A and B are shown apart, each in its own frame.
Chain A
């Protein structure tokens, strides 16, 4: 069975400082991993995804994440936070369920707060 743990429910940073949102996963297979972002009163939007290619994945808006199998982690980073980055971020793991389909499991989310 797959699972995902987002280690922080809230992260607060100042504008212009680095962002680190932590995610650990558990999977019996080679999983796909995703980060989604949800701005207030909006649906979820894909930031980036890892599907067994390069371990460092670059996404939209300057975000990137590194897949570390030995640590079962997929942390999301950005060198410099913008006010517009304030949102809820979801880490997602997906591996073959019964029948072979990859069905995603979402983390509880991390709320990123950006101070001026």
Chain B
């Protein structure tokens, strides 16, 4: 398996523009997570999906952020409009929940990240 794939790896845009980050999880994984990493705030969980359904989006900073997972092999994180304070590295991760009671998630596999710079 190629692992978690993210695109683009780097994105430079101007304030006010729409930004779309993409993620392909590992095949067969049923959980998908979006994180944001900055020096000031560390690694923050933005939202996670289980079987393509958003479960908890309480970490999404503002209405400018939205995430979708139209199918098991693709997810997007969109920022519209973008602002300089959105500059960060955005990670996508996937994991396989246990089929036993409790849906225990196990090891998360991270993509290489997208480094976003908003000017």
Q: Interface of A with B (CB < 8 Å)?
A: 32, 34, 36, 42-46, 49, 51, 90, 94, 96-97, 99-106, 108-109
The answer, yes or no, to whether B107 is at the interface (CB within 8 Å) is yes
Closest residue to A96 on the B side, CB-wise? B102
Contacts of B55 in A (CB 8 A): 99, 101
The answer to whether B43 touches A32, judged by C-beta atoms less than 8 angstroms apart, is no
B residues 20-71 with Cβ under 8 Å of A?
Answer: 31, 42-43, 45, 48, 50, 55-56
| Alpha-carbon separation in the docked complex, A97 to B97 (Å) | 14
Main secondary structure of the interface of A (DSSP, over half): strand
On chain B, the residues within 8 Å of A45 by CB distance are: 110
A43 pairs with B42, CB closer than 8 A: no
Q: Chain B contact residues (Cβ within 8 angstroms of A): what range?
A: 20 to 34
* 29 examples of A-B residue contacts, CB within 8 angstroms: A43-B91, A43-B110, A43-B111, A44-B108, A44-B110, A45-B110, A46-B107, A46-B108, A46-B109, A90-B43, A94-B105, A96-B102, A96-B104, A99-B55, A100-B102, A101-B55, A101-B102, A101-B103, A102-B104, A102-B106, A103-B48, A104-B45, A104-B108, A106-B42, A106-B43, A106-B45, A108-B42, A109-B42, A109-B43
- A44 B91 Cβ-Cβ under 8 A: yes
Taking the closest CB of chain A, its distance from the CB of B92, in whole angstroms, is 9
B78-119 interface (Cβ within 8 A of A)? 91, 93, 97, 101-113
Taken together as a complex, chains A and B put the C-alpha atoms of A49 and B45 apart, in Å, by 20
Complex Cα gap A97–B55 (Å): 11
* B109 proximity list for chain A (CB < 8 A): 46
CB pair A103 B43 closer than 8 Å: no
User: B residues within 8 A CB of A32?
Assistant: 104, 106
A103 touches B56 (CB 8 A): yes
Which B residues are in CB contact (< 8 Å) with A97? 56
A29 to chain B, nearest CB (A): 10
* Pick from B48, B102, B113: contact of A43, CB under 8 Å: B113
Q: In whole angstroms, what is the CA distance A82 to B77 when docked?
A: 37
- For A34, the chain B residues whose CB sits under 8 A away are 107
B-side contacts of A99, CB under 8 Å: 55, 103
